[in-house]
Amino acid sequence: MPEMAEKPKTVDAYIAAAPKELHARLRALRTAIRSAAPDAEEKLSYGMPYYGYEGRLAYFAYAKEHIGLYVPPPVVADHAKDLRTYQTAMATVRFPHDKALPIALVKKLIRARKKLNEEKHMKKAKKAK
């Protein structure tokens, strides 16, 4: 992520501090995440927009040539077939600036992580009884 003069304190400020040509893409990504997980908490963590719902859901950040979406494992591996046209790592998907954002795919990834978090939360709740 490029260095900023003053660190943003909100997701709105993070997007505003990004290069102007990325504002619409970042807002679209944010909207997709919030649409897939409307109850998720939104804040900045590690200097990036963060979404939490029953645990970590996702982060995103812009870089010089892409926007990174960071979703805890095993979501990226579980959707490797859908993600084959993107650079990926264990918890990372890179969306290049010169390609349209795959909004439906982003929502699918977020919903998958949300479901895993809910299942994990339910197991913990059952053990606590």
Per-residue pLDDT at 5:
61
Give me the residue label for tokens 């264990």.
90
pTM: 0.91
Per-residue pLDDT at 3:
54
Residues in contact with 15: Cβ distance below 8 Å, sequence separation at least 6, in sequence order: 23, 26, 27, 30
Check residue 128 and give left, alpha or beta (phi > 0: left; psi -120 to 50: alpha): alpha
Report the half-sphere exposure of 54 (CA within 13 A, side-chain side): 19
Contact status, residue 107 vs residue 28, Cβ threshold 8 Å: no
Q: What is the rounded distance in angstroms from the CA atom of residue 97 to the CA atom of residue 62?
A: 9
Query: Residue ranges of the chain with pLDDT lower than 70?
Result: 1-5, 129
Per-residue pLDDT at 129:
64
Q: What is the rounded distance in angstroms from the CA atom of residue 47 to the CA atom of residue 7?
A: 7
Express each pLDDT in 94-106 by its tens digit. Answer: 999 999 999 999 9
What SS3 state is found at 94? strand
Q: What is the rounded distance in angstroms from the CA atom of residue 14 to the CA atom of residue 23?
A: 10
